[in-house]
């Protein structure tokens, strides 16, 4: 495969360094067994083995004898006393609800099994998200069972807290405190709220207390956009973006598929524009300008980098090229200049079908972006002003003023709900001080977080899975929250507290049903004030209880969203341009970003999210300083991407310990491990926020209890680096960076497997695909021909000595579209939740012991400074001719007549031969008892503290275990596990089809990853059924793009992939761009297509 | 004689298919609450039509009693007379079907007591085999000794000196064989047990498990004598993975009316008598029902259950390991199995005992032998789901196979039950 384009996972892979090659040859680097002295001698002659042998013999005999003498425990079966009619034990129910997290809202359907919510799925009826979910949304079911959740209301007394035993005395205490404020202002500090009923309650509450006000505060602010829109469109609001209408999508540092505004909704829209049609395919063109390497940037067709402070200048340059009346700055980077020029030409050519979005929180930059969008006719087409988005409303200046007022003592009381300013504010420490000094402070947060710790009263509110509620993410689009479970703890809806304290008699409906008689079958009415208020509110609005029930069933109120433009006013443009020109620059700059898992840090104590590898860096459990290879060379003298200095790549990569970089911003320091990632701007250090959660106390036990075993000690807090320019918070800033001699170990999941230079991915650009759709897969086709014997045609049957087994009924198959997969990892978390996949903790991830059944491989390709990135979800390929099955000595893994590679845990003896023989490296071994599933109680004890993170104990808490799917075995220590194609769902679906006597119902089956995918990249079904979607994709619609990974091994996988088609002018075909990246790494200047000229000097490879 | 009897029987069935249909419908739909000739949860059905306002009245009532009992005067009175015990609406029954049920009830004659079967206990030959093995081993040992003595004699004759023979108790070969034999026997006994119940092989198995339950509930009385359909109480068996033990309110559906036990004497396995009425009183205590006032206790704390009520903690008899997935509805609804296949003659058990060993071999055997309700393309009978098994359809057509077993469609593959 020497004429192939190289795809590399890390620098060792790129430079083929010695240690990398060594490692790929010796795949399992585990220490040898204690029997190693055996070499060359007979078993009985060796010294230790004889003793060991006797020891093992003795132990096993004793164990067998003990086990044989065991009595079976007496098990109880306790049926309901009064079984509700709608409940059938053992059958899951599904209810529509809405995932909410600060301003985020995603319509979902929640699976409830025997009273416990266990899995979240997208709600197809939502006109916004259309069934899409995100990693955070998938993981939030685990937050319900978070052991750090507060179990009852608390009152601070000294440094400790005491329980308030009932809500009546609580209301009295707070009521007294409010009256004691003596006219000083009362402030309600919340995250963005777009619940119509809550907003009404808040306005009633504010009316009751004159001088009080409501401040909305977003941990990561969009104030810049809100204020820019006020300046240009006269509305302090966010428009609704319509990526699906765009042919050209330009993003200036907006991670719109990962973390920017409503990424789930945008992913769905974006995927529509990236679907390759069978005939005359047309794709959107996505151009990305950014400083770091974001997930969205990695999906771009063309990508350019610049310093964080240059975002405004890039916007100005584009506007000038489009004919705007501003001065066009030019850049030293020739490639960037050319990119801007090409972008402007494209934008102009696709007027009315183009969209520019920008991730900056600088008002001036956003004003320029608005001007660009006006110039390209986006207003009213791809940007909808007729219905505005309500997901972020925080104005930074309000928050800064509140901090100042609190410090100066003009504020009497603060009620905090759903936000954590002590942690997320740059100067959280002084906010904490003034909060602690206030006469009245109440926290409604669900845990004892950094802010709640400072409050006098803590009245935990419900998790969203326990509450009633409503959301209006886009004006007119209501999505309903309904509870899936009775509140687990003594918590109370935040709204109920507000209603109680404003005591407006008219809004509290009388509690019905005062009779004490027991009537079988009667449903108990909720006595909670907000529940009744809320129901009355909506029944009133919808006109009837029937209409309300229909809405509860659907989860959304379907409304047609109007599309229209806003009245544009460009007055502020000149002023903005002047201010941008004066932006302060530095040699090194820091840009703060959110990771798709941890986000702002609100869900930081979620082990699933902590262990979710970042799509780009593949790091778990930490944040770090992300830098480019050039910056790393300047700092540490490590030239990792250079073939001549292979040792540097090894030095950096072989051990988990990474050199630590000291970053200083305004006198504040952070020392973070350095992650070298290609494709970053050479002067930029990127740091994720959301990490470094910590209680005020340094005590470990206090932190475990309040912050949680997963969040505590995971990374460091980067929020103190957030700047303020007098009107908005800024997430990029000038910094000084210095090297330290320290190292810090990070847990990275790539590279735990190697491709060994085998091609696993095929791609081409749109133009060549349109010219000759067959060319992209010419190589695998050729390979197939090579190993099919002469005169034979059937690759499946003839190219092997093994017999061909028939699949008489169903044959399951999956197809994954590499063109629409964005790497968002919702599937990974969905798989964790559905299949009880263990969390192993940071130390175990470092040892390549992670248990994820589904991983997303990230490959870089092309030029080191401007690489292309490609994501490949990889799970068990369910090979029909599976290499793992042949080597199992106990037949614990074998094949089903439906094409499933079956793994039988109770049969597995843990030889791991199968994992060794798997070409895809998807089999996972339970090195330790991660779940407490072993029958020997003490098996877990030696692990805690020494061998694993404390998080393992958190995941084995009785409360956390409520999230387990009862249909899937919890695996014990010493067995292999892997993707089962969600066999429990397949069996359930087949059973339903058999009950209904209708084979077409099999088409309804959805595996967890396919269900969660916001871009519909995964198609699953019965390939024997010609009407099924999977059959059509593979054989009819996308036959030209369908390939199997490493098909030449003749393992006959049941998972196929669709080749990636990039909409770019660059040559990205496999085989055309040989070795050019290595050569390019030497040069300082890069052309967009440098392939040809470097070909000659490239050394022969492999 | 038997031949004649069966001829008569055949004639009876063909002439009385309506009667048979009525009986089947009665057992499926009505037997839970009605008896043909005696009052039960509901009135006896024999001659019930004569009391009703019209011959067609029963059709109205059966199909929609919740409405009729509110509107019709006779219905109102009937409802009141029977303690306001609601009757399920059978909207799916046709008029002629209801008629056949009532005809069956009218023609019903109580059956003569049936004789019990006499199953011979299975012979256990292992003792004989053991003696045989021992004799053969002794013979082999003697022959080996004879052989070595003969060889020594012949060697002496030929002048070959071999030294004194090692006695067998010091011979390494014998010792090794002995150790191996002991190990093998020991392992066998550990795994399979020497008394037929212990042993590693049976670890976790509980055949014949018969614990004492919090209430002496007799399946013999309910499912046997009173012919209550299994699914009335264990409705989960057709909808769910779990057959589910009925909730207390299901028991109370009948036991609001059935206050005392007047049937045949109930005895425990050890012969002691059980007071049926006292057991019903226990149920009332659990349910929070006051038999004197005929009402539930009030719900003062508003927790949705009557004060003093508590769920019954039954002891689970049929336990499967956690790594086994078993779905009742798969077997009852799709596989059309009888409950008795796995649970034994439950209708004859006063105290339930585990009938089968619930071992994997036992499951797999059944999967090998049982035929699926395969779709027949010629007459469109069978479960249409199986229409997709193209290969089997061709094979049946070509007479390569005559029926499709559960094993054929993958019923013995690991991941049908283990995932």
Spans of all domains in chain A: 7-14+754-1062, 93-144, 154-220+395-513+528-554, 225-389, 586-748
Angstrom distance (rounded) from CA A830 to CA A979: 12
Q: Do B325 and A967 touch (CB under 8 A)?
A: yes
Q: A932: helix, coil or strand?
A: coil
Q: Do B298 and A516 touch (CB under 8 A)?
A: yes
Name the minimum distance, in Å, from the CA of A468 to any CA of chain B. Answer: 20
Give the nearest partner residue to B246 out of A70, A76, A79, using CB atoms.
Answer: A79
Residue A255: which of A665, A861, A686 has the closest Cα?
A686
A248-269 exposure pattern, b = at least 16 Cβ within 10 A, e = fewer: bbbbbbbbbbbbbbbbbbbbbb
**Chain A contacts of B193, Cβ < 8 Å?**
68
Question: Which of B385, B395, B407, B408 is best to mutate for the A interface (most A CBs within 10 A)?
Answer: B385
CATH number of the domain located at residue range(s) A154-220+395-513+528-554 in this protein = 3.40.50.740
Query: Which residue is closest to A523 within chain B, CA to CA?
Result: B304
A792-803 exposure pattern, b = at least 16 Cβ within 10 A, e = fewer: eeebeeebeeee
Residue A872 per-residue DSSP state: E
**Other C-beta atoms lying within 10 Å of the C-beta of residue A325:** 11
Name the minimum distance, in Å, from the CA of A878 to any CA of chain B. Answer: 13
Q: What pLDDT score was predicted for residue B6? A: 43
**Beta-bridge mates of residue A248:** A285, A354
Query: Which residue is closest to B253 within chain A, CA to CA?
Result: A520
Residues counted in chain B = 419
Residue A1052 per-residue DSSP state: -
Q: What pLDDT score was predicted for residue A798? A: 84
Q: What pLDDT score was predicted for residue A1084? A: 37
Angstrom distance (rounded) from CA B21 to CA B35: 16
DSSP codes joined into one string, B192-208: H-SSSS-SGGGTT--TT
Question: Which of A61, A81, A527 is best to mutate for the B interface (most B CBs within 10 A)?
Answer: A81
**Residue B418: Cβ-neighbour burial (10 angstroms; 0-12, 13-18, 19+):** buried
8 A C-beta contact, residue B236 and residue B338:
no
Q: Do A896 and B248 touch (CB under 8 A)?
A: no
- The parts of chain A modelled with pLDDT lower than 50 are 1-3, 31-41, 505-508, 510, 1072-1102
DSSP codes joined into one string, A359-406: ----HHHHHHHHHHHHHTT-BTTTEEEEEEE-S----HHHHHHHHHHH
Q: Do A997 and B300 touch (CB under 8 A)?
A: no
**Residue A521: Cβ-neighbour burial (10 angstroms; 0-12, 13-18, 19+):** exposed
Q: Do B329 and A524 touch (CB under 8 A)?
A: no
**Residue A120, phi then psi, degrees to nearest 5:** -110, 135
Residues counted in chain A = 1102
**Residue A439: Cβ-neighbour burial (10 angstroms; 0-12, 13-18, 19+):** middle
**Chain B contacts of A72, Cβ < 8 Å?**
204, 206, 209, 319
Residue A272: which of A251, A299, A245 has the closest Cα?
A245
Residue A497: which of A102, A153, A103 has the closest Cα?
A153
Q: Note the pLDDT tens digit of each residue in A1028-1059.
A: 999 999 999 999 999 999 988 899 999 999 99
CA A1067, A1070, A1072, A1076 torsion: positive or negative?
A: positive
Angle between helical axes of A396-408 and A428-437 (0-180°, round to 10): 50
Angstrom distance (rounded) from CA A684 to CA B276: 83
Angstrom distance (rounded) from CA A250 to CA A557: 32
Name the minimum distance, in Å, from the CA of B286 to any CA of chain A. Answer: 8
Please, which residues have CB within 8 angstroms of residue A449's CB and are 6 or more apart in sequence? A420, A422, A423, A693, A706, A707
Query: Cis bond leading into B169, ω under 30°?
Result: no
**Chain B contacts of A517, Cβ < 8 Å?**
296, 298-299
Angstrom distance (rounded) from CA A855 to CA A678: 21
Cα pseudo-dihedral A99, A104, A105, A109, rounded to 10: -30
B 175-204 → A contacts, CB under 8 A: 190, 193, 198-200, 203-204
Residue A818: which of A560, A628, A1018 has the closest Cα?
A1018
**Residue A966, phi then psi, degrees to nearest 5:** -70, -15
CATH number of the domain located at residue range(s) A586-748 in this protein = 2.40.40.20
The token pair at A974 is 């010493």
Name the minimum distance, in Å, from the CA of A1087 to any CA of chain B. Answer: 53
Query: Which residue is closest to A971 within chain B, CA to CA?
Result: B323
Name the minimum distance, in Å, from the CA of A68 to any CA of chain B. Answer: 5
Q: Note the pLDDT tens digit of each residue in A525-542.
A: 777 888 888 888 999 888
B178-209 exposure pattern, b = at least 16 Cβ within 10 A, e = fewer: eeeeeeeeeeeebeebeeeebbbebbebbeeb
Domain A93-144 has CATH 2.20.25: yes
Residue A1042: which of A1053, A1058, A1028 has the closest Cα?
A1058
Query: Which residue is closest to B392 within chain A, CA to CA?
Result: A808
User: Within a 13 Å sphere around the CA of B96, how many CA atoms are in the beta-carbon half?
Assistant: 3
Angstrom distance (rounded) from CA A662 to CA A625: 9
Q: What pLDDT score was predicted for residue A1083? A: 38
Give the nearest partner residue to B389 out of A78, A809, A990, using CB atoms.
Answer: A809
Residue A759: which of A1071, A1056, A301, A1089 has the closest Cα?
A1071
Can you give the residue ranges of every domain in chain B?
A: 15-107, 133-202, 219-319, 359-416
Residue A902 per-residue DSSP state: E
CATH number of the domain located at residue range(s) A225-389 in this protein = 3.40.228.10
**Chain B contacts of A984, Cβ < 8 Å?**
325, 419
CA-based angle A560:A566:A569, to the nearest 5? 170
B229 touches chain A (CB under 8 A): no
Q: Do A64 and B200 touch (CB under 8 A)?
A: yes
User: Within a 13 Å sphere around the CA of A435, how many CA atoms are in the beta-carbon half?
Assistant: 30
Q: Do A75 and B316 touch (CB under 8 A)?
A: yes
Q: Note the pLDDT tens digit of each residue in A23-46.
A: 777 655 554 444 444 444 455 555
- The parts of chain B modelled with pLDDT lower than 50 are 1-15, 113-122
Query: Which residue is closest to B200 within chain A, CA to CA?
Result: A68
Q: Do A809 and B241 touch (CB under 8 A)?
A: no
Name the minimum distance, in Å, from the CA of A78 to any CA of chain B. Answer: 5
Give the nearest partner residue to A68 out of B190, B248, B327, using CB atoms.
Answer: B190
Q: Would you give the distance in Å from CA A517 to the centre of its chain?
A: 50
Pairing of strands A440-443, A411-417: parallel
Residue A363: which of A257, A240, A221, A256 has the closest Cα?
A221
The token pair at B221 is 């009385």
B 278-297 → A contacts, CB under 8 A: 286-288, 296-297
What is the model's pTM?
Answer: 0.84
Angle between helical axes of B95-107 and B57-71 (0-180°, round to 10): 100
Q: What pLDDT score was predicted for residue A511? A: 53
The token pair at B160 is 């070959």
Angstrom distance (rounded) from CA A897 to CA A875: 20
8 A C-beta contact, residue B405 and residue B370:
yes
Query: How far from A938 is each of A55, A63, A181, A961, A962, CA to CA, in Å?
Result: 20, 15, 55, 18, 22
Give the nearest partner residue to A76 out of B316, B330, B392, using CB atoms.
Answer: B316
CATH number of the domain located at residue range(s) B15-107 in this protein = 1.10.760.10
Angstrom distance (rounded) from CA A1029 to CA A1026: 8
Domain A7-14+754-1062 has CATH 3.40.50.2300: no
Query: Which residue is closest to B295 within chain A, CA to CA?
Result: A518
List of E strands, B206-267: 266-267
The token pair at A918 is 């798997």
B 134-163 → A contacts, CB under 8 A: none
Give the nearest partner residue to B198 out of A68, A83, A991, using CB atoms.
Answer: A68
């Amino acid at each position: 495969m020497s004429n192939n384009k190289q795809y590399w996972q890390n620098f060792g892979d790129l430079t083929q360094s010695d240690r990398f090659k060594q490692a790929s040859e010796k795949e399992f680097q585990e220490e040898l067994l204690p029997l190693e002295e055996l070499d060359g001698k007979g078993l009985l002659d060796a010294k230790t083995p004889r003793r060991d042998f006797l020891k093992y013999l003795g132990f096993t005999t004793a164990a067998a004898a003990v086990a044989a003498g065991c009595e079976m425990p007496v098990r109880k079966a306790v049926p309901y006393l009064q079984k509700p009619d709608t409940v059938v034990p053992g059958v899951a129910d599904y209810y529509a609800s809405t995932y909410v997290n600060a301003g985020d809202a995603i319509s979902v359907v929640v699976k409830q099994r025997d009273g416990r919510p266990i899995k979240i799925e997208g709600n197809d009826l939502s006109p916004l998200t259309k069934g899409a979910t995100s990693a955070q949304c998938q993981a939030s079911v685990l937050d319900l069972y978070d052991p750090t959740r507060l179990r009852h209301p608390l009152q601070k007394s000294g440094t400790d807290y005491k329980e308030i035993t009932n809500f009546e005395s609580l209301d009295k205490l707070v009521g007294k405190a409010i009256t004691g404020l003596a006219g000083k202002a009362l402030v309600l500090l919340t995250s963005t709220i777009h619940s119509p009923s809550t907003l009404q309650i808040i306005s009633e509450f504010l009316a009751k207390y004159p001088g009080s006000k409501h401040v909305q505060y977003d941990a990561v602010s969009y104030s810049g956009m809100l204020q820019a829109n006020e300046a240009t469109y006269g509305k302090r609001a966010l428009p609704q973006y319509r990526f699906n209408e765009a042919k050209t999508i330009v993003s200036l540092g907006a991670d719109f598929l990962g973390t920017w505004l409503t990424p789930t909704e945008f992913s769905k829209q974006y995927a529509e524009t990236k679907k390759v049609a069978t005939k005359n395919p047309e794709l959107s063109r996505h151009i990305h300008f950014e400083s770091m390497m974001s997930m969205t940037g990695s999906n771009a067709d063309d990508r350019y980098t610049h310093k964080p402070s240059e975002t405004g200048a890039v916007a100005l340059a584009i506007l000038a090229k489009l004919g705007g009346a501003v001065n066009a700055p030019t850049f030293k980077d020739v490639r960037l200049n050319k990119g801007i020029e090409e972008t402007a030409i494209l934008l102009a050519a696709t007027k009315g079908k183009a969209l520019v979005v920008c991730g900056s929180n600088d008002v001036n930059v956003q004003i320029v972006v608005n001007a660009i969008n006006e110039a390209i006719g986006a207003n009213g087409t791809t940007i909808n002003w007729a219905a505005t988005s309500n997901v972020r409303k925080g104005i930074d200046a309000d928050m800064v003023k509140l901090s100042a007022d609190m410090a100066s003592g003009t504020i009497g009381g603060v009620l905090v709900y759903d936000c954590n300013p002590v942690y997320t504010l740059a100067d959280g420490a002084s906010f904490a001080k003034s909060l602690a000094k206030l006469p009245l402070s109440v926290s409604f947060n669900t845990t004892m977080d950094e802010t709640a710790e400072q409050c006098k009263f803590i009245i935990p509110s419900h998790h969203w899975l326990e509450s009633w509620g409503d959301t209006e993410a886009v004006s007119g689009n209501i999505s309903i929250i309904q509870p899936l479970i009775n509140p687990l703890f003594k918590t109370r809806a935040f709204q109920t507290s507000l209603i109680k304290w404003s005591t407006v008699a008219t809004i509290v409906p009388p509690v019905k049903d005062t009779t004490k008689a027991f009537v079988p079958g009667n449903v108990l009415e909720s006595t909670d004030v907000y529940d009744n208020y809320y129901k009355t509110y909506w029944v009133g609005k919808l006109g009837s209880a029937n209409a309300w029930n229909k809405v509860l069933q659907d989860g959304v109120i379907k409304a047609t969203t109007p599309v229209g433009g806003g009245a544009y006013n460009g007055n502020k443009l000149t002023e903005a341009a002047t201010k941008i020109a004066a932006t302060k620059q530095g040699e090194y700059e820091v840009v703060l970003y959110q990771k798709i898992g941890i986000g702002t840090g609100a869900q930081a104590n979620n082990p699933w999210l902590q262990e979710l590898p970042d799509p780009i860096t593949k790091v778990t459990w930490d944040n770090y300083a992300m830098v480019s290879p050039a910056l790393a060379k300047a700092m540490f003298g490590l030239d990792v991407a250079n073939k001549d200095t292979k040792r540097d790549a090894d030095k950096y990569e072989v051990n988990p310990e990474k050199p630590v970089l000291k970053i200083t911003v305004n006198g504040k320091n952070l020392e973070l491990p350095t992650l070298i990632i290609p494709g970053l701007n050479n002067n930029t250090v990127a740091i994720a926020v959301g990490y470094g959660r910590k209680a005020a106390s340094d005590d470990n036990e206090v932190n475990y209890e309040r912050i949680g075993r997963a969040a505590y000690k995971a990374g460091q807090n980067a929020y103190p680096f957030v700047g303020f320019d007098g009107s908005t918070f800024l997430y990029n800033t000038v910094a000084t960076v210095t090297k330290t001699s320290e190292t810090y170990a990070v847990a990275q999941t790539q590279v735990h497997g190697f491709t060994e230079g085998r091609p696993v991915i095929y791609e081409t650009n749109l133009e060549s695909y349109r010219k000759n759709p067959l060319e992209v897969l010419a190589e695998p086709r050729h390979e197939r021909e090579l190993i099919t014997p002469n005169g034979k045609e059937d690759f499946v049957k003839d190219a092997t000595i093994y017999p061909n087994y028939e699949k008489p009924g169903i044959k399951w198959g999956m197809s994954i579209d590499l063109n629409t997969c964005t790497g968002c990892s919702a599937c990974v978390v969905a798989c964790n939740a559905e299949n009880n996949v263990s969390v192993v903790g940071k130390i175990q991830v470092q040892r390549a012991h992670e248990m994820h059944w589904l991983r997303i491989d990230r490959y870089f390709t092309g030029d080191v400074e401007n690489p292309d990135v490609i994501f490949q979800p990889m799970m068990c390929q369910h090979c029909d001719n599976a290499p793992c099955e042949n080597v199992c000595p106990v037949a614990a893994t074998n094949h089903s007549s439906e094409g499933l590679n079956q793994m039988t845990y109770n049969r597995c003896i843990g030889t791991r031969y199968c994992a060794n023989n798997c070409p895809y490296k998807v089999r996972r071994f339970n090195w330790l008892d991660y779940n407490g599933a072993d029958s020997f109680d003490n098996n877990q004890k030696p692990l805690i503290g020494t061998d694993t993170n404390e998080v393992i104990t958190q995941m084995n808490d009785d409360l956390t275990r409520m999230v387990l799917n009862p249909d899937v075995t919890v695996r014990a220590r010493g067995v292999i596990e892997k993707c089962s194609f969600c066999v429990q769902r397949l069996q359930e679906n087949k059973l339903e089809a058999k009950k209904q006597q209708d084979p077409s119902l099999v088409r309804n089956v959805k595996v967890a990853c396919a269900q969660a995918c916001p871009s519909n990249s995964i198609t699953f079904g019965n390939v024997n059924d010609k009407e099924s979607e999977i059959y059509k994709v593979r054989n009819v619609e996308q036959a030209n793009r369908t390939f199997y990974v490493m098909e030449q091994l003749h393992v006959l996988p049941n998972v196929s992939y669709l080749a990636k088609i990039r909409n770019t002018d660059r040559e990205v075909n496999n085989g055309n761009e040989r070795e050019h990246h290595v050569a390019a790494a030497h040069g300082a200047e890069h052309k967009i297509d440098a392939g040809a000229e470097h070909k000659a000097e490239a050394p022969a490879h492999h | 004689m038997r031949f004649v009897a069966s001829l008569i029987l055949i004639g009876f069935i063909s002439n009385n298919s309506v009667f048979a249909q009525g009986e089947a419908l009665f057992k499926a739909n009505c037997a839970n609450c009605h008896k043909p000739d005696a009052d039960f949860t509901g009135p006896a059905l024999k001659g019930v039509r004569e009391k009703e306002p019209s011959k067609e009245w029963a059709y109205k009532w059966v199909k929609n009693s919740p409405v009729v009992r509110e509107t019709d005067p006779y219905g109102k009175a009937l409802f009141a007379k029977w303690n306001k015990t609601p009757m399920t609406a059978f909207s799916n029954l046709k008029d002629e079907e209801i008629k056949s049920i009532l005809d069956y009830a009218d023609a019903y004659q109580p059956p003569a007591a049936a004789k019990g079967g006499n199953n011979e206990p299975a012979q256990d030959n292992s003792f004989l085999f053991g003696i045989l093995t021992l004799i053969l081993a002794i013979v082999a040992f003697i022959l080996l000794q004879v052989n070595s003595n003969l060889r020594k004699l012949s060697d002496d004759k030929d002048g070959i000196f071999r030294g004194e023979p090692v006695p067998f108790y010091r011979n390494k070969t014998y010792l090794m064989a002995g150790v191996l034999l002991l190990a093998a026997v020991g392992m066998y006994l550990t795994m399979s047990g020497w008394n037929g119940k212990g042993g590693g092989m049976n670890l976790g198995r509980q055949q014949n498990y018969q614990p004492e339950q919090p209430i002496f509930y007799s399946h013999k009385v309910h499912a046997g004598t009173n012919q209550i359909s299994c699914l009335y109480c264990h409705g989960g068996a057709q909808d769910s993975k779990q057959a589910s033990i009925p909730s207390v309110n299901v028991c109370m559906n009948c036991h609001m009316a059935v206050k005392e036990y007047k049937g045949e004497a109930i005895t425990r396995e050890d012969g002691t008598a059980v007071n049926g009425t006292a057991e019903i009183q226990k149920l009332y205590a659990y349910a929070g029902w006051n038999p004197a006032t005929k009402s539930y206790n009030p719900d003062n704390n508003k927790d949705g259950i009557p004060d003093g009520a508590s769920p019954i903690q039954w002891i689970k008899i049929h336990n499967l390991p956690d790594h086994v997935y078993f779905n009742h509805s798969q077997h009852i609804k799709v596989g059309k199995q009888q409950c008795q296949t796995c649970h034994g003659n439950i209708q004859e058990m006063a105290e339930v005992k585990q009938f089968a060993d619930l071992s994997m071999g036992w499951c797999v055997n059944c999967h090998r032998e049982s035929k699926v309700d395969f779709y027949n393309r010629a007459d469109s009978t069978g479960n249409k789901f199986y229409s997709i098994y193209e290969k089997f359809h061709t094979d049946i057509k070509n007479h390569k196979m005559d029926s499709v077993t559960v094993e054929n469609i993958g019923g013995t593959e690991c991941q049908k039950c283990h995932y």
